[in-house]
Amino acid sequence: MVFNSYTFVVFFAVILLLHNLPIAWKAKKINLLLASYLFYAAWNPPFILLLWLSTVVDFFVGRALYTQPNKHKRRMLLVISLIGNLGMLCFFKYGGFILENFVVLTNALGINYHPAKPNIILPAGISFYTFTTLCYTIDMYKKESKPVKSLLDFSLFVTFFPHLVAGPIVRPPQLVPQFETPRKASRQQLMDGLLLLSLGLFMKVVLADSMLAETADAVFSWHGGLGPLDAWSGVLAFSGQIFFDFAGYSTSAIGVALCLGFVLPQNFLYPYAAIGFSDFWRRWHITLSTWLRDYLYIPMGGNRQGKFRTYINLMVTMLIGGLWHGANWTFVVWGGLHGIYLWIEKAIQDSRVKPAVMATGGDDAPQPVIATAAMVPGFISGKKPVGFIYALLTFLLICITWVFFRSATFGGAWQLLSSLSGRTKGSPPLLSTVAIIEVGIIISLMLICQYLMRNTTVLKTAGKLPWWVMGTLWAAMLILIVLSQGAGKSFIYFQF
């Protein structure tokens, strides 16, 4: 089941009705849990068994980790949890990828090995709920929070349908306490939640699917050279598509949860207004960035063991972050490019910033890097035009990385990069003038709006508008969503 479907509208209306009935809080939680399983089962019912297995094992292992006094037994329990969760993730998501690369390696060594291609179905959202349960057992091992008392609360934490298949990636302290006491949305929360849901669907259905997807698909599926205008239009279209698609889901998820009285963590904060690449990762997929920081970068040593080790830790984090997105070497290159960007940025800032200032960017910094946007010349002096130029440069360099993220092969990626640079001569036009203008207008408005709102939120901005202006904009979004509904597709991040 997806948010951008009429089935979900009916489903959500029933959930809202049941959640606001005068019944016991435990009964409401059971309703939410069953609804979450139904929401997930709409894709493939047998995969509910994976959710149950992960939930039950980590609930009891987490409790044992917290109470077990023997250090060696605690480590063994943690290993069991890691093997169970990561083993399941590796099999379903990376099984075919690992086998394919093993075959290439054996053939390169002169061994003629050609096994049957595995027929493995990727469960929707497995990367998201695996990271969700992993953070619980790791926290229990480090005793950073107390075990969840109720299996019902823990099950609901893992499977709560707004965040289940595409995030935000939540942690127990962020959500479990909200299940412990009765919650019902206030009138303001309900209105804010419905507004966020409408905005998220508008971003997904109207902007991502109806206006940008066709152009991006045409360029990235083209075999051969393209003119620079076509190539850049396709790359810019995908940069907008993936933002509106993923941020649209997160915005919808936060809105749906808010309608029920629950608060989910922010996952996007105008990332294309970022000034620098560390700033980008403080704004893009925030819950994944902080997860990688807390459970990978810092445990590896963070920036506590000298500059060389810091650079290694940073690159490893970004490479694994790239591989998390998909079982393809193109995703690893995408992560590696971001790692190189961060290396260069950090090297420049290390040469400019005094040691006393650098000392403030320890392992408790918002992301696994110590750079901050305030270090960028022009931004710190309040020169907004200069800051916008830095943000635009950051955006264009990020667009280069999206080429590898979207391309299915390295050959396609190199061909498109060559077209971007204008090295492909005599290529016939692929896109219509209307499509190119449409992409230009949408991306330009996106960049301007994100930069102007980089230090505020949608709800704060909406609260400052006259009611009739807000009402008109909201009504326009709803009308466009209905008119564009036929173009709605599954969310891109469901495959991750």
Please give the DSSP secondary-structure letter assigned to residue 43: T
What Å distances lie between residue 308 and 290, 320, 346, 361, CA to CA?
22, 19, 12, 16
Residues 325, 349, 376, CA angle at the centre, nearest 5°? 85
- Pick the closest to residue 229 from 395, 14, 422 (CA basis): 422
**Can you tell me the distance from the alpha carbon of 89 to that of 94, in angstroms, rounded to the nearest whole number?**
7
Please give the DSSP secondary-structure letter assigned to residue 487: G
Please give the DSSP secondary-structure letter assigned to residue 264: P
Tokens 């075990």 label which residue?
147
Amino acid at 232: W
**Can you tell me the distance from the alpha carbon of 12 to that of 201, in angstroms, rounded to the nearest whole number?**
14
Known active-site residue 325: yes
From the candidates 19, 285, 325, 338, give the one annotated as an active-site residue. 325
The answer to whether 189 and 259 have CB atoms below 8 angstroms apart is yes
Please count the CA atoms within 13 angstroms of the CA of 371 that sit on its side-chain side: 27
Alpha helices in 206-227 (DSSP H): 213-220
**Can you tell me the distance from the alpha carbon of 380 to that of 373, in angstroms, rounded to the nearest whole number?**
8
Q: Which residues contact 155 (CB under 8 A, 6 or more apart)?
A: 33, 55, 59
The answer to whether 91 and 120 have CB atoms below 8 angstroms apart is yes
Cα 379–chain centre separation: 27
- Pick the closest to residue 154 from 165, 141, 170 (CA basis): 170
**Phi and psi at residue 367, to the nearest 5°:** -135, 170
Q: Tell me the angle at which helices 187-201 and 467-484 cross, rounded to the nearest 10 degrees.
A: 40
**Can you tell me the distance from the alpha carbon of 8 to that of 3, in angstroms, rounded to the nearest whole number?**
6
Instruction: For 353-370, give one letter per residue: b (16+ CB within 10 A) or e.
Output: beeeebeebeeebbbbbb
Q: Which residues are part of the catalytic machinery?
A: 325
